[in-house]
Amino acid sequence: MSYFFALDGGGTKTAGLLAEDDRVLARATVGTIKLTRVNEEVAEARLKELLDELAEKSGVAATKIAHSCAGIGGFSIERLRTWTHDAIAKLTGGTVEVCGDEDIALDAGFRGGAGILVIAGTGSIVLARAEDGSRYSTGGYGSGMGDEGSGHWIGWESIHAALHAMDDGRSSVLLDAVMKEWKLGNLGELIGKVNETPGPDYPTLTRTVTACAEAGDSVAKDVLKRAGEELAWVVDAAYRQMQAAGKAPISGQSLAPLGVAFTGSVITHIQPVRAAMTAWLAKKAPALKVMDGPVEALDGALWRCLHHAGKA
């Protein structure tokens, strides 16, 4: 019997769980501990708060934790990696692994094996991993050059589509809904806002677009459909990279099925986006099989703990 601590450290929140082998005893969430957002004093206080809450809920002291796995955003930044490792080691006393948040999300879906992961929330990126561990990524170039199918893309594209509909004489409530959401009085104010520097917070429009689509607005529905199809294209591009490298799974003389996992607020909660992505892939890349539900990154961090201990 061993106790494990799994952590998912994002830019806005930090989620953690404490498990006895593969049995989860407690879960908790605190604010971000990412050093690009808060200083070390705040980050350490929040990490301690997280561990204290897990200890209180589970009855297991942090010092009894045998191994921890932390998946963090910004893993490539040495200061973040080092601080996260040392802070967890100081508070738990066990061995610690720090990896990227994309690593634990991939392992949540594929337990160290091959698969493709779609992350679509405020931004978007697609990550693929072959059986030999080689990695491929597509998209993820930021709001100015990509983030296809993301909250930012949907917000920006909704204004673009609504203006085109107005110019074309098509009926749509989307433009008025956008201006209401942003508390704007007329088209001139909207034009001024989208040309501000820095630009507006486009992801805040995602709920507005979704509500308009649910109410039957054809322009909003088309935006969400195209968001899913954009994501599907990026997934297929990652798969084509695997094929070009000879790393796509093969069964006999044909391509074997490969799973597509997903996580992030847009792809998880906006069903028309997910449905459009799934339909596009079913038609144009039938070897790719989209999972029924989203992956939970913490499950991947726990799997890595178990794998480290030889229990997975």
- Residue 300 in any domain: the answer is no
What does the angle CA 298 – CA 302 – CA 304 come to, to the nearest 5 degrees?
115
| Co-location of 41 and 119 in the same domain | no
In a domain, residue 273? The reply is: yes
**Structure tokens given for 272:** 């028309």
Q: Each residue of 277-310: pLDDT tens digit?
A: 999 999 999 999 999 999 999 999 999 999 999 8
Percent of the chain at pLDDT exceeding 70: 98
Looking at residue 251, what is its pLDDT? Answer: 62
Residue pLDDT, tens place only, 208-220 = 999 999 999 999 9
Sorting pLDDT into bands at 50, 70 and 90, what band is 252? low
Q: What is the pLDDT of residues 266-281, one digit of tens each?
A: 999 999 999 999 999 9
Do 251 and 175 belong to one domain? yes
Full domain range(s) for residue 256: 112-294
What pLDDT sits at residue 248? 86
- Let me know if residue 231 belongs to a domain: yes
Domain count, the chain: 2
Ramachandran quadrant class, 309 (left: phi over 0; alpha: psi -120 to 50; beta: rest): alpha
Are both 218 and 145 inside the same structural domain?
yes
Does 101 fall in a domain? no
The mean pLDDT value for 151-169 works out to: 95
Amino acid letter, 200: P
Are 187 and 238 in a shared domain? yes
Q: What residues are paired with 146 via a beta bridge?
A: none
Query: Does the bond joining 200 to the residue before it have cis omega, within 30 degrees of 0?
Result: no
In this structure, the answer to whether residues 122 and 56 fall within a common structural domain is no
Q: What is the pLDDT of residue 276?
A: 98
- Please state the pTM of the whole predicted model: 0.86
One domain, residues 257 and 151 = yes
Last residue of a domain, one of 58, 93, 128: 93
- Rounded to an integer, the average pLDDT of 4-26 is 94
pLDDT band at 253 (very low <50, low <70, confident <90, very high): low
Does residue 210 share a domain with residue 150?
yes
- Residue 206: name the closest of 254, 241, 154 by CA: 154
Nearest alpha-carbon partner for 2 in 297, 308, 296, 301: 308
Instruction: Name the pLDDT band for 256 (thresholds 50, 70, 90).
Output: confident
CB atoms within 10 A of CB 129: 25
